[in-house]
């Protein structure tokens, strides 16, 4: 393979900055649109710019007041998202309580988002525990249940609701919570906004949106263009996102057709071993890149049959194409035949793995909501059904490589096939939920959902420590060491219940309690990589035979209080306890291989608190959470880089595994997370603010027994500053500093072998970006 240019992922070499002509063309496209007639619509009850009610399902309904929702729900409107965020996951991390992120890939658009110890990640192989929806479309992808944050344009999101617990109404994968987003429309966001940003490390971006409406029709368009060269030597990003929506709305019908498109290229810095942290910007090996192309169509509608009955639903299609290039240093460089002819001797120290996969998703939801009184008391009942069909084709190529002086892995042989796998996902769900106001103070909510999922796999994959000759042309033979037939069919089904209540203790004090159950089925990726006798080579780059994994079952209890003091102060506090049966864990057998397995019992429990408000010129928001995430049953974790394993077996003698005991902490989850946002209006035109994000230490992946000699990844606190100056009614100037004190910190760690320099096992860390400046000019027409 030809070596990639410095800082240039696949398809990125000619996009190192935003060309002025391109900026001009984008802005002109929005400005030349005919002005919309800004007549008041007959009804806008279905599309609200500022959400004050909670939709009880992923497909928008009339909703219930927050005071009647039995959980610590959080609602974030677009105006609350920070202007300095790089991607939606980063924005939610800075804004929402109990959320933290892991930078496992070294790119701001590929963050793992964690909530209460459960994850929504874009990385194949990360066990997922959150469901994510956009306008009723499930954003978890079929192959690995991953959530690709880079495909969702933050500018087009009107509001985000974080639903806590194992709420069964939100379907599969809702173990710890659900994130439901709604996009803007021309009725609620009329006019034109444009925002141009320049910043450190070659950051240059343009966000443009325009909306308008006539009496019954509306349109909304948004585009985001983002480029940077990255703070490290090899982690630039190129993001291209577009969203468009047209709609019809009268006093009975609300109908929207939306289209979303993305064309992105992201380069990763990789995690860096402790011995190389002094030059973290150089990274580890490279190149590591991801390109993603996505297209989505969604037709969503609500029909008010009469004053008390509402029909709603949507049908959607998603097409996702992704290419992932991984560099892997498999053996100690100094002890290998590290030169361009190493393939001839069969002693190359490295390999490049290129994965290509396509996903087509077809789905739909249909629901009926009824608000007739029951026993002369108000209630809202919703019955719904949903179905989704997902088709994935995955191929993986590998080549031997040698390592250059700047740690690039350069191909020493042609690419050969390592895996050809296809999967079919079929999902069906049927649910009911009802909220009844028993008295003016007491509301009861009951829900249940039946889910059925069938997953079919077919294909061949390499399971050798090294590259296979060509998996595409060799018929698999049972019992061989290098090839496996991954074909198989798996199905899962379960009825999950939920029950809760709210009670209005005083006009300003509300209490709630809830019990819920949820299920996650193993993904096609996990099923294809579940055999400890044939671990996957370079996940997600190969597969093995497919013994059944069990479905994960979550049972969550939650109690809490919330209140307000007029409109100037709002607060909330909650305690939660989630027990999981058959949690899925990735066992890393060595630097390049691993497999998935069930862990009998795990637990996430904790406390969370938040307060926000305004006082004259000040505005503020404070949140804190404590999460105790533990294994609750003994199991053997396979990780040859764990020092406890090495001590028991001796260096170089291999490691069958180390024993994790009940009470050991789950890696990657800090016990404490705190956030503070404080703003001050200096003058009517000038607002300044600061955001502080802090979290405690966490254990590295591979240290499930909590005994590795490297200890925990340290906690940190980072400070951001921002200023907003109103130049005129049309223009605003925004400036800021991220990581004000230029702290070097990490929010992720993993145990592996440093084959570049020593051949020793070390803790590798995902290092965050250093101090960065940005300045934006915002125009509003």
Is residue 328 within 8 Å of 538, Cβ to Cβ? yes
95 DSSP assignment: H
Residue with tokens 């070659």: 202
The pLDDT-based confidence of 247 (bands split at 50, 70, 90) is very high
What is the C-alpha to C-alpha distance for residues 127 and 146, in angstroms, rounded to an integer? Answer: 9
How confident is the model over 441-459, as a mean pLDDT?
95
Tell me what the mean pLDDT of segment 333-337 comes to.
88
Q: Distance (Å, rounded) from C-alpha 131 to C-alpha 154?
A: 18
Q: Which of these, 506, 515, 536, 512, lies nearest to 524 by C-alpha position?
A: 536
Mean pLDDT of the 490-508 span: 96
pLDDT at 45 over 60: no
Q: Is 726 within the bounds of a domain?
A: no
Q: CB neighbours (10 Å) of residue 213?
A: 24
DSSP state of 618: E
Determine the pLDDT at residue 417: 85
d(CA 313, CA 46): 13
C-beta neighbour count of 686 within 10 angstroms: 13
Q: Looking at residue 713, what DSSP letter applies?
A: B
Share of the chain above pLDDT 70, in %: 86
Please state the rounded mean pLDDT for residues 655-664: 84
List the CATH number of the domain containing 114: 2.40.170.20
Confirm whether 305 is domain-assigned: yes
Q: What is the pLDDT of residue 639?
A: 74
Per DSSP, what are the bridge partners of residue 495? 450
Residue 743 domain-assigned (yes or no): no
Q: Looking at the domain assignment, is residue 774 inside a domain? A: no
pLDDT at 546: 41
Is 112 a member of any domain? yes
Residue 694 lies in a domain: no
Say yes or no to pLDDT of 157 above 90.
yes
Which of 92, 104, 73 has its CA nearest to residue 675?
A: 92
- Between CA 177 and CA 119 the distance in angstroms is 9
Rounded distance between C-alpha atoms, residue 175 and residue 163, angstroms: 11
pLDDT at residue 448 greater than cutoff 50: yes
Mapped onto helix, strand or coil, the DSSP state of residue 467 is coil
- pLDDT at 288 exceeding the cut of 70: yes
In this prediction, residue 3 carries a pLDDT of: 39
Cβ contact 356:323 at 8 Å = yes
In a domain, 124, yes or no: yes
Tokens representing 288?
């590591």
User: CA 709 to CA 703: how far, in whole Å?
Assistant: 9
pLDDT of residue 61: 67
Phi and psi at 379, nearest 5°, equal -155, 160
Residues 189-215 have pLDDT tens digits of 999 999 999 999 999 999 999 999 999
In a domain, 275, yes or no: yes
pLDDT tens string 513-571: 999 999 999 887 777 676 666 666 544 433 433 446 899 999 999 999 999 987 789 99
Its pTM stands at 0.91
Mean pLDDT for the chain overall? 87
Question: Which residue range is the domain that position 519 belongs to?
Answer: 20-177+217-670+682-689+704-711
Q: Which residue has the higher pLDDT, 445 or 701?
A: 445
Model confidence at 47, in pLDDT bands (50, 70, 90)?
A: low
Residue 22's pLDDT is: 46
pLDDT of residue 364: 97
First to last CA, the chain: 49
What mean pLDDT is predicted for residues 28-32? Answer: 49
Q: Return the pLDDT at 48.
A: 52
pLDDT at 229: 95
Least confident residue range of 109-118, 441-450, 532-541, 747-756: 532-541
Q: Are 146 and 89 in contact (CB under 8 A)?
A: no
CA–CA separation, 496 vs 511, rounded Å? 24
Q: pLDDT above 90 covers what percent of the chain?
A: 67
pLDDT of residue 36: 43
pLDDT at 487: 80
In the prediction, which pLDDT does 566 show? Answer: 79
pLDDT score at 51: 54
- In this structure, of 195-204, 517-526, 583-592, 763-772, the range with the lowest mean pLDDT score is 583-592
Q: Is the pLDDT of residue 4 over 70?
A: no
φ/ψ of residue 295, rounded to 5: -135, 135
Query: In angstroms, what CA-CA distances link 739 with 53, 89, 774?
Result: 35, 17, 12
Which range has the top average pLDDT, 232-241, 589-598, 636-645, 657-666? 232-241
CB 764 within 8 A of CB 193: no
Per-residue pLDDT tens digits for 124-148 = 888 899 999 999 999 999 988 999 9
Tally the domains of the chain: 1
Quickly list DSSP for 196-239: EEEETTTEEEEEEEEEEE-SSEEEEEEEEEEEE--SSTT--EEE
Q: Is the pLDDT confidence value at 242 over 90?
A: yes
Measured from the Cβ of residue 251, the count of other Cβ atoms closer than 10 Å reads 11
| pLDDT 10s digits, 364-404 | 999 999 999 999 999 999 999 999 999 999 988 889 999 99
């Amino acid at each position: 393979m030809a070596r990639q240019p410095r800082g240039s992922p696949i398809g990125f070499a000619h996009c190192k900055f935003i060309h002025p002509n391109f900026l001009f063309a984008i802005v002109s496209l929005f400005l030349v649109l005919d002005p919309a007639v800004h007549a008041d619509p007959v009804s806008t009850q279905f599309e609200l710019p500022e959400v004050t009610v909670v939709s009880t399902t992923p497909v928008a309904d009339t909703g219930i007041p927050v005071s009647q929702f039995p959980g610590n729900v959080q609602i974030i409107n677009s105006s609350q998202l920070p202007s300095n965020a790089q991607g939606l996951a980063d924005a939610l991390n800075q804004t929402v309580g109990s959320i933290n992120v892991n930078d496992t890939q070294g790119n701001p658009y590929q963050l793992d988002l964690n909530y209460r110890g459960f994850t929504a990640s874009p990385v194949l192989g990360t066990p997922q525990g959150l469901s994510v929806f956009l306008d009723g479309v499930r954003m978890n992808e079929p192959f690995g249940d991953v959530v690709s944050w880079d495909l969702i344009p933050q500018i087009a999101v009107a509001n985000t609701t974080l639903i806590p617990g194992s709420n069964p109404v939100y379907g599969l994968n809702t173990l710890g919570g659900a994130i439901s987003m709604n996009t803007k429309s021309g009725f609620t966001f009329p006019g034109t906004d444009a925002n141009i940003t320049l910043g450190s490390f070659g950051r240059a971006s343009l966000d443009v949106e325009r909306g308008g409406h006539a009496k019954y029709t509306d349109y909304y368009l948004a585009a985001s263009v983002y480029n940077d060269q990255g703070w490290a030597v090899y982690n630039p990003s190129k993001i291209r996102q577009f969203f468009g929506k047209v709609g019809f709305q009268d006093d009975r019908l609300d109908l929207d057709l939306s289209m979303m498109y993305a064309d992105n290229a992201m380069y990763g810095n990789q995690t860096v071993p402790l011995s190389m942290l002094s030059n973290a910007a150089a990274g580890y090996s490279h190149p590591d890149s991801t390109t993603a192309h996505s297209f989505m169509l969604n037709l969503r509608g609500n029909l008010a049959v009469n004053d008390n009955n509402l029909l709603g639903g949507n049908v959607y299609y998603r097409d996702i194409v992704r290419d992932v290039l991984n560099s892997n240093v498999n053996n100690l460089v100094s002890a290998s035949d590290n030169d361009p002819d190493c393939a001839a001797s069969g002693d190359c120290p490295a390999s490049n793995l290129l994965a290509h996969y396509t996903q087509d998703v077809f789905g739909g939801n249909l629901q009926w909501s009824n608000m007739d009184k029951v026993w002369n008391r108000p209630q809202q009942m919703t019955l719904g059904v949903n179905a989704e069909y997902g088709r994935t084709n995955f191929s993986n190529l590998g080549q031997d490589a040698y390592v250059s002086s700047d740690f690039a892995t350069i191909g020493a042989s042609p690419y050969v096939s390592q895996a050809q796998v296809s999967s079919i996902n079929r999902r069906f769900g049927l649910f009911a939920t009802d909220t009844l106001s028993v008295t003016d103070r007491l509301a009861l909510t009951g829900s249940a959902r039946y889910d059925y999922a069938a997953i079919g796999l077919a294909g061949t994959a390499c399971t050798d420590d090294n590259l296979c000759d060509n998996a595409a042309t060799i018929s698999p033979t049972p019992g061989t060491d290098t090839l496996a037939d991954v074909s198989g069919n798996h199905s899962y089904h379960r009825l999950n219940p939920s029950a809760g209540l709210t009670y209005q203790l005083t006009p300003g004090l509300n209490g709630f309690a809830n019990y819920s159950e949820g299920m996650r089925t193993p993904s096609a990726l996990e099923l294809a990589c579940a055999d400890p006798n044939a671990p996957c080579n370079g996940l997600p780059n190969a597969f093995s035979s497919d013994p059944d994994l069990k479905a994960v079952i979550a049972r969550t209890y939650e109690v809490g209080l919330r209140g307000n003091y007029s409109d100037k102060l709002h607060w909330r506090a909650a305690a939660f306890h989630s027990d999981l049966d058959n949690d899925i864990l990735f066992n890393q057998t060595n630097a390049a291989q691993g497999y998935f397995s069930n862990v009998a019992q795990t637990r996430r429990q904790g406390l969370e608190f938040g307060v926000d408000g305004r006082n004259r010129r000040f505005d503020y928001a404070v949140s804190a959470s404590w999460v105790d995430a533990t294994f609750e049953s003994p199991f053997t974790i396979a990780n040859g880089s764990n020092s406890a394993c090495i001590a028991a077996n001796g260096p170089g003698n291999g490691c069958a595994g180390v024993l994790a005991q009940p009470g050991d902490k789950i890696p990657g989850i800090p016990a404490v997370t705190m956030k503070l946002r404080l703003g001050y209006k200096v003058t009517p035109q000038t607002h300044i603010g600061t955001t502080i994000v802090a979290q405690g230490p966490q254990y590295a992946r591979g240290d499930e027994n909590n005994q590795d000699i490297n200890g925990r990844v340290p906690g940190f606190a980072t400070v951001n500053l921002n200023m907003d100056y109103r130049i005129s009614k049309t223009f605003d100037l925004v400036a800021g500093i991220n990581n004000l004190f230029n702290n070097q910190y990490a929010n992720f760690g993993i145990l592996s072998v440093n084959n570049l320099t020593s051949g020793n096992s070390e803790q590798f860390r995902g290092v965050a970006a250093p101090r960065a400046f940005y300045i934006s000019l915002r125009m509003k027409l």
